[in-house]
Chain A
Amino acid sequence: MRFVIIGSGAAGVRAAETLRQIFPSGEARRSGNSFEDSGVQVDGRPEDGQVTVTLVSAEDFPPYSRCLLPAYLAGRCREEDLTIRPRDFFRKLGINLLLGREALAVDPGKKVVKLADGEELPYDRLLIATGAASRFPPIPGIDRPQVFGLRHLADARAIEQACVQMCTRPGAHAGAHAGAQPDSDSRLVAQTRSVVVIGGGFVGVEAAYALIRRWGAQLEVTVVEKEAQILPAQFDAYAAGMLQREMEKEGIRFILGRQVGEIVGQERPDHEAGREVGDRCRVVLTGSGTAGDSGEESLPADLIIVAAGITPNTAWAASAGPAVRRGILIDDYLETSVPGIYAAGDVAEFRTLSPERAGALPTWTPIWPNASAQGRIAAYNMASRRRACRGLIGLQNAVEFREVPAIAMGLVEPPVPAKGESGESAYMVLVKAEPEQRRYKKLVLYKNALVGMVLVGDISQAGVYGALLRKKTDVSRFADTIMNDNFNCGHLRSL
């Protein structure tokens, strides 16, 4: 049985490692767990009952964590610290790791994956775990060389390099408020270096925070977010405000309620040398902004980071024939519309939802823990150990700024009733705010079940609330304790 996995992110690595737990190779295999007694039906051409697990990555770097890229930008970890498994992990487990090999197409008839270098990889079961790419909104000028996404190590390296260039180039000032002295090269470089981050979601704010932590006053960092708050997909306005104030204390500036309409600037004619960061652009803003907005029409930018969401990498997979909506459509068993081809992680979207889940959970859940879990469960299904993937919460995340940790999960703001709608809302919101302690707790209930939560400051019980949320437990019996600071899983024993 030949297992091929395309993509070496959370889902791909977890799938490969789980397959090797089910079908150990080498020594582990000789100790009794062989393919023959596993009960897996061989539907391809078995090679002497041998199981092979091949992990293909387009990137020429051992499997690493994208979530750590902000830490890398902040100078808190080195490149080699980004890897998510020990050096000899894949070899020891018997996983054939192909790095720097891009998969171009799949032929589901011949059951082969075609690689960019012409090689064809035969498979019996295929997992597509190609993840997603930074989404670049259709803004005029977004293709300028000063514009970067932040998704891959290559992006982080490029941003890092640009910052080093900007902050060490003649004319760069050590302090934002240092007097501007004209540089002999150009009038433009003799100013404080400005970074504009487009998008105030997790990637955007973490990138901004990382740059300011690393470069301090050498960089002026501004985050432009089109909603009226940062982290609009996960946090409510109150918690987002708390986190924003922490980041403002570090010197990050936020422009909310406004969008980037255009990126204008002059380019050197000789920019074949690659990304040239010496030239400054201007980011033109549209919209009126939130209260207190300075109303400026444009911002100078030496470097622009686009953090406006992600797009699943489905393009090449379309050749294989699986149905695609936003992501590659999968059923509860993570199989695509093409038998034998599975998908997991950021590239995948649930095709069907079991009735209990319908409407309650999003069909696309692009976060690390879910990608890992999907990869693991896809491996079981690829090994014919049928197992449904249930209860993944799409909108959840954890952050920490200036030692204020925060976790949000699910629906953090009940929907506003439609006009003319009357009667009591089925939603209940419980809030406890202690801003001076930098603590905040909010639970959103729908018909006595927890559907969302925000914790700032004290996050110790986040997982317990998460379990209640996932299980849709009737929490009315904990009504007297659920908002207490010391509410914990011990209280659930009275169920």
Chain B
Amino acid sequence: MKPARELKAGCLLGMRRVMIDAGKCNGCMTCVLACAGAHAANDKSIIGGMMEKTPPRIQVLPVKGRAVPLLCLHCEEPACVDACMTGAMRKDPKSGLVSNEGGEQACVGCWMCIMACPYGAVRQHPDKKVALKCDGCPDREVPACAAACPMDALIWGEVDDFAAGRAMKTALALLEGA
């Protein structure tokens, strides 16, 4: 690990992430539908997601009459990983993506990650006793939410100063020292 890589937006500058420009979000929910579709078991389309009732991992939060998209920021030092007592939640050393799925250790739904995440980006799966969060769409070139957003409120790209600065400014400040 090279020292003094700059941390911004909870993740490293230069890594590719979905960045949120909440000011552009009009609450159309296309990202939510696209996310659900992308995680459907069979038909990975918006229709497939609706038919299979796949729960979405991205949230569009109501904030005083406006819409604010929220998804996992895949933090450099994720509080959810520290909190996970089964070892299911881990950060992939190569991709930097944080997920509780696909590993040898299983999530048991103890909700410690929900308690730990300062953004509220981890939720309870509506049907199963497991935590549900954005997996960063590791098998896609562009995460489904960002690919689908018609307003450019979700932008897929390298984390740069400008993007990091505007992405959930205040919530990020909360993470400092956590």
Contact = CB atoms under 8 A, between A and B. Distances in A.
Interface of A: 10, 14, 21-22, 24, 33, 38-39, 65, 67-68, 71, 76-77, 81, 83-87, 368-369, 372-373, 376, 385, 390-391, 396-398, 400, 405, 407, 409, 459-464, 466-468, 470-471, 473, 481, 486, 488-495
Interface string B37-62: 00000000000000000000000011
Contacts of A481: 64
A467 B118 contact: yes
Closest 3 CB pairs of A and B: A84-B87, A467-B118, A490-B68
Secondary structure at the B interface, as helix, strand, loop or mixed, is loop
Interface string B1-31: 1110000000000000000001000000000
Interface of B: 1-3, 22, 61-64, 68, 70, 77, 79, 81-83, 85-87, 93, 103-106, 108-112, 114-120, 122-124, 129, 168-171, 173-178
Contacts of A405: 111, 124
Nearest to A493: B170
Given A24-B1, A460-B120, 12 more contacts: A21-B1, A76-B108, A368-B83, A385-B3, A396-B115, A397-B115, A407-B111, A463-B120, A466-B116, A470-B178, A486-B61, A489-B119
Nearest to B113: A463
B74 to A, nearest CB: 15
Nearest to B171: A489
A491 B176 CA distance: 18
A463 B108 contact: no
Contacts of B68: 488, 490, 493
Contacts of B119: 463-464, 489
A459 B62 CA distance: 17
Contacts of B103: 86
Contact of B175 (A398, A400, A467): A467
B85 A68 contact: yes
19 contacts: A24-B1, A65-B86, A76-B108, A83-B87, A84-B85, A369-B115, A397-B115, A398-B114, A460-B114, A460-B123, A462-B114, A466-B116, A466-B118, A467-B175, A467-B178, A488-B63, A489-B61, A492-B171, A493-B170
Contacts of B3: 38-39, 385
A459 B111 contact: yes
A181 B144 CA distance: 65
A398 B131 CA distance: 13
Contacts of A39: 3
